[in-house]
Amino acid sequence: MLIDSHCHLDRLDLKPFEGDFDRFMAKAREEGISHMLCVGINLPTFERCAALAARYPEEISLSAGEHPNDSKGQPLDVEQLLEYGRRQQVVAIGETGLDYFRSEGDLSWQQERFRQHIQVAKTLHKPLIVHSRAAKEDTLRIWREEGAMDVGGVLHCFAEDWDMARRALDLNLYISFSGIVTFKNAQAIQEAARKVPEDRFLIETDSPYLAPVPYRGKPNYPFYVRKVAEKIAELRGTTLERVGETSGENFYRLFSLALNKKHKNSSE
């Protein structure tokens, strides 16, 4: 059984399933996917994600946040984020962070929104899902300055090098590997995947984006996380089963407080 720790279920191409989300879920079960974390990209689409998760409370969890490339330059509605973040289904805040690759000009608004997400996460005692692209130093600096180590989180879709991973690990961040780790030109990411401690890595698809080899360039789906797990097993000299078991344990450890509360409430 595998966990996709980062996907965008509201954005999947459901044409292969005749537009039926239930058929997609049946396929995910058949492929051995036990849980998926549907990650928020912006607040206006949160309710759409929440509606999907409400139908499958044991198989889908949520996060709430504003992607650094979304609503460019717009202030964050902190009260709305706090409201969504308190929902029973929500296990994390984000994705948030910095992206200097696809944004130009004065990006102080990105930094401010990142800081606001961190403060919301600390208020709610929930971990953060962090996006960082071409912004290594500022990402780690703001993380330290805002005391985000207190709640921890995950550096998702890791696309940097071992130096970045090592420093992030020291700041109470987990490292999550996506389909990028299967790309031929991803040697630095593959090095990090070999070196990250066994108790500190997650696996993800970031679907519908960044499909792994051999599906690169095609729509991505959560069940392709198996290809990510297979590559990491190859790199680490272990088995697919061990990668699935370990990454699953790490997922539930990172999101334990929110997930345990959710499952307790759903059983009452």
Binding site listing: 6, 8, 95, 131, 156, 206
CA distance 110 to 160: 20
- Give how far the C-alpha of residue 190 lies from the chain's centroid of Cα atoms, to the nearest Å: 18
39-58 in b/e form (b: 16+ CB < 10 A) is bbbebeebeebbebbeebee
Please state, in angstroms and rounded to a whole number, the distance separating the CA atoms of residues 89 and 46. Answer: 11
**Binding-site residue set for a divalent metal cation:** 6, 8, 95, 131, 156, 206
Radius of gyration of the chain (CA): 17
> How many CB atoms are located within 10 Å of the residue 233 CB?
16
Is 259 strand, coil or helix?
A: helix
Q: How far apart are CA 155 and CA 130, in angstroms?
A: 5
Using DSSP's 3-state secondary structure scheme, residue 216 falls into coil
Could you give the CA distance from residue 114 to residue 112 in angstroms, rounded to a whole number?
5
Retrieve residue 221's tokens.
């789906």
SS3 73: coil
| Beta bridge pairs of residue 37 | 61
CB 193 within 8 A of CB 221: no
> Dihedrals φ, ψ of 121, to 5°?
-60, -40
Secondary structure tally for the chain: helices H, strands E: 10, 8
